[in-house]
Amino acid sequence: MFRKKGPLILCGTFLLITWNAILLFLLWGRPTPAQQDKAVQDQVDVAVKPSPDVMGDVLDMADSIAAELEMQKKILLQIKSHKSLWKPSNKSKPKAVVPTQPVIPILVIACNRVTVRRCLDKLLEYRPSEELHPIIVSQDCGHAETAEVIRSYGEQVTHLQQPDLSDVAVKPQHKKFQGYYKISRHYHWALNQVFRTLSHSSVVIVEDDLEVAPDFFEYFRASLPLLKSDPSLWCVSAWNDNGRDAYVDPGQAQLLYRTDFFPGLGWMLLKELWEELEPKWPASFWDDWMREPEQRRNRACIRPEISRTLTFGRQGVSLGQFYDKYLRYIKLNTEFVPFTKLDLSYLKEDAYRTAFEREVYGAPVVTYEEITQGQLKGAGPFRLEYSHRDSFKLLAKNLGIMDDFKSGVPRTGYRGIVSFISRGRRIFLAPPTGWTQYDTTWS
């Protein structure tokens, strides 16, 4: 309405003022009726000297000006009544603001879970900025009910739909793994959309069965500069594989680690890493592929003491593997940590390795029996040593932490060391001094 009528009203106002100025000018210079009669009389009788009625002329002019001002007043009142048309509507959208801080989009990988609503609700509840953290939901499977849930969020999220829903050609013995092949294909397509089509420089990936913590966005925003500046890092993860309630220190919500194990489950990567991985992206089992030495290349990830994500999806292609025993009991952080105000430089490779190994190998060595029988003296930390694959698995299983290896790396391990809480004490399950590298045959 404003765009259509605004210029016409402004033009009319300009013409009105101009006309009034001309009219007033003419009025001031126009002779009064008495002056006109006098001019005629002067032509008839030139000899007669004029005796003008000055007061009458002034009164006549005042009457004329008063009439004109009254007309102007009426017109100005009409213009005032249309004043609302000149102003932009309060409902009109503000101009887009170009962000001055890095934009970190959240990519939600979805398929056929209508419970994606739980994931999206928490992301939207804790998101500090729509401009700095756009939410992109990439849906595979073509599941109509899930698509309807995603569309219900309107412009709060961007809904992408993976176009290729066909089965993937696999070997006969891999038919039961068809779901893993489709997931890998979906990740490949979705990450290309984020980095190539939408031209983002980083992204945090979550799946549709993850709930996030209140400081989820704060955590990734604070760790982005570290990921960009340290070439020995290749991801930041929100997940602690051994993060069950009794196995973490509730008073250390701000504590972060380096880990050689790729955790996933809410993780951030840069465009540069995707450009490295995309040409050789695997047909299936992408997460285990990420853990292979050829991809990891001795790089580490950052992970928290207390997880910033919680999985609530028992049903999936993995058929609930580890869910009932471990994943459902993971502690989700509830204390907001202002990570962007903390100094995270201690996580840089050289400083971290030196300090961490000094703490681990400076801790007293204890036995499994001393731990489980409550015979530890002091507040800790303590070191429990393992010498080979079987001893690690036996100790880990009996202490209640995850005992599997991927490409020789134990979950949460850093230089072979796994840190956790047992009976209220910090325990480092560690190889002997002099550790050099992982043995891939341990997987």
Which of 50, 52, 49, 51 shows the shortest CA–CA distance to 60? 52
pTM to 2 decimal places: 0.78
Residues 319, 386 within the same domain: no
- Spatial separation of the C-alpha atoms in residues 113 and 132, rounded to whole Å: 27
Q: Which pLDDT belongs to residue 55?
A: 56
The residue segments making up the domain with residue 370 are 362-430
Which of 326, 328, 314, 308 shows the shortest CA–CA distance to 212? 308
Tens digits of residue pLDDT in 208-267: 999 999 999 999 999 999 999 999 999 999 999 999 999 999 999 999 999 999 999 999
Position 418, amino acid = V
Residues 381, 241 within the same domain: no
Measuring CA to CA, how many Å separate 9 from each of 70, 79, 401?
20, 8, 76
Helix ranges (H only) for 1-106 are 2-29, 33-44, 54-81
Final residue before a domain boundary, out of 313, 332, 351:
332
Structure tokens at 179: 């779901």
| 82 is a domain residue | no
- Spatial separation of the C-alpha atoms in residues 27 and 18, rounded to whole Å: 14
Position 139, amino acid = Q
Residues carrying an active site annotation: 287
Residues 318, 377 within the same domain: no
Q: Which pLDDT belongs to residue 46?
A: 41
Tens digits of residue pLDDT in 16-56: 555 555 555 544 555 554 554 454 444 444 444 444 555 56
Residues 307, 372 within the same domain: no
- Spatial separation of the C-alpha atoms in residues 227 and 268, rounded to whole Å: 9
| 160 is a domain residue | yes
Final residue before a domain boundary, out of 332, 353, 385:
332
Query: For the chain, what is the domain count?
Result: 2
| 40 is a domain residue | no
Residues 115, 259 within the same domain: yes
Final residue before a domain boundary, out of 311, 332, 353:
332
Phi and psi (nearest 5°) for 233? -105, 145
| 3 is a domain residue | no
CATH number at residue 213: 3.90.550.10
Q: In what order do the strands lie in the sheet with 425-430?
A: 382-385, 425-430, 418-422
Residues 366, 328 within the same domain: no
Q: Which pLDDT belongs to residue 322?
A: 72
- Spatial separation of the C-alpha atoms in residues 301 and 197, rounded to whole Å: 26
Structure tokens at 288: 């285990």
| 41 is a domain residue | no
Residue 212 and residue 123 in contact, taking contact as beta carbons nearer than 8 Å: yes
| 244 is a domain residue | yes
* 357-360 CB contacts, 8 Å cutoff, 24+ apart: 357/415, 359/428, 360/417, 360/428, 360/430
Helix%, strand%, coil% for the chain, nearest 5: 45, 15, 40
CATH number at residue 393: 3.10.180.20
Which of 161, 150, 156 shows the shortest CA–CA distance to 190? 161
- In this structure, the number of other CB atoms found within 10 A of the CB of residue 13 comes to 14
Residues 324, 276 within the same domain: yes
Q: Which pLDDT belongs to residue 249?
A: 98
Residues 275, 389 within the same domain: no
Q: Which pLDDT belongs to residue 400?
A: 96
Residues 273, 368 within the same domain: no
Residue 352 and residue 358 in contact, taking contact as beta carbons nearer than 8 Å: no
Residues 152, 273 within the same domain: yes
| 400 is a domain residue | yes
Half-sphere exposure of 241 (CA within 13 A, CB side): 23
| 91 is a domain residue | no
Q: Which pLDDT belongs to residue 282?
A: 98
Q: Which pLDDT belongs to residue 213?
A: 98
Structure tokens at 362: 């400076």
- Spatial separation of the C-alpha atoms in residues 222 and 396, rounded to whole Å: 32
Residues 182, 270 within the same domain: yes
- In this structure, the number of other CB atoms found within 10 A of the CB of residue 433 comes to 9
Residues 232, 323 within the same domain: yes
Cis peptide before 381 (omega within 30 of 0): yes
Q: Which residues of the chain have pLDDT under 70?
A: 1-98, 314-321
